[in-house]
Chains A and B, each alone.
Chain A
């Protein structure tokens, strides 16, 4: 059964890692992609552009209540949590969750609740344990979970934490992630 959404979480080293995943996805990728990358509020908001530069799919910084379209990636804006409902997204300025806003856990938990077994969660490189709880929730709700092979991550703390929290369906090198997403979403 085709999966309805892909959620990606990354922190330290994430820009490079996310770029690699996105540029290996075809323009007709059948699901929307939502991304939480830890970033400072002061960072200029050029990240969507950077991530989209070599990708076939469109990459935008999320605007509140955007409709989720297949083959498009939505990036959490700095200083906001990104949450999804079935078919659309919303933003929040609630307090930081473990020093992060956007928080990967917040995004993943909303994805797990809204999409259940149609969700795919991907944890990439990072030097925190954000996302571990969210990924576990996606799995509990019947979704598919992917963790970047820690040995190939720029910082392995986040993949390690995700794996310590529960088994992933796949532990993959960066290059293998996009082809797997194509497979589970088609």
Chain B
């Protein structure tokens, strides 16, 4: 029968397509998604397949290889991390209580917001440091792999509809002013004060393929590595470790563990309830 002559597949076709896709993007554009955590990578890729009106991952690969603007759209999908200002207010409350006193001892501070996406966290940190009286001697490096996403961060512009949630977070995070002092409304949007970006350097940096570029007193990298597989997490943890000063502080997302990082022993936990660690070795 004809069916007997059909070649047998050794592996699930979609798994093969995902491998080829990541490989092709890396070869053509240098962005390395090969060690991204598969389930969420797969979801995002399928979403882009559908938005492009295509039907397969291989079809999307063909498009992004031949059509750089499609690659740009894909990059935006893969770098956008839906965040909120003062997400996990407890994190910022503990930051105020336990990290700010440590930071007061330095004449000048460098903070790295790694994987800043659209800048919600960058603004939150700037506001917090401002209220702590530390902002004027701080430089915040806000980096992301995607230039278009960075442009959005630079604009300091957010939907007005989000302000209620952010205000609640801000208050719960121990904010000492009125949150609305920090922005002006402009139609459906709000624009945050220019001063909040004055000491911020927005720069393109890829955690997977780029090297350490400075030493920092604080690194915030929250809910960025959850998109990476364990092997890549370890690689990036090494990069972050090497980019921290002695006694520098690392902030992670509330459900991220430092346990697999290979650097567990070199950090001390600053608090039991949130993910703030101090490099001690």
Contacts and interface: CB of A to CB of B under 8 A. Distances in A.
Contact of B82 (A83, A84, A85, A93): A93
A64 B256 contact: yes
A155 B233 CA distance: 41
A88 B233 CA distance: 14
Contacts of A94: 40, 43-44, 81-82
B227 interface: yes
Given A63-B256, A65-B260, A93-B81, A85 B38 contact: yes
A68 interface: no
Contacts of A83: 37, 39-40, 43
Contacts of B227: 90, 92
Interface in B1-38: 14, 37-38
Contacts of A106: 43
A136 interface: no
Contacts of B214: none
A113 interface: yes
A79 B260 CA distance: 23
A90 B255 contact: no
B39 A77 contact: no
Interface residues of A, number: 26
B60 to A, nearest CB: 17
B255 A85 contact: no
B82 A91 contact: no
B257 A64 contact: yes
A77 B223 CA distance: 13
A42 to B, nearest CB: 8
A61 B255 contact: yes
A80 interface: yes
B42 A93 contact: no
Interface in B157-197: none
A91 B226 contact: yes
Interface in A97-141: 106, 109-110, 113-114
A163 interface: no
A113 B229 CA distance: 17
Nearest to A114: B39
Nearest to A83: B39
A64 B256 CA distance: 5
A1 B258 CA distance: 36
Contact of A90 (B37, B44, B82, B253): B37
Contact of A95 (B37, B42, B82, B87): B82
B255 A64 contact: yes
B6 to A, nearest CB: 21
A113 B256 CA distance: 24
A91 B253 CA distance: 11
Nearest to B38: A85
B254 A77 contact: yes
A65 B223 CA distance: 12
B96 interface: no
B56 interface: no
A62 B255 contact: yes
B83 interface: yes
Nearest to A90: B37
Given A64-B255, A85-B39, 12 more contacts: A64-B226, A65-B233, A79-B87, A85-B37, A88-B230, A90-B227, A93-B82, A93-B223, A94-B43, A94-B44, A110-B39, A113-B42
Closest 4 CB pairs of A and B: A83-B39, A110-B39, A92-B40, A90-B37
8 contacts: A63-B255, A64-B255, A65-B233, A77-B254, A83-B37, A85-B37, A85-B39, A94-B40
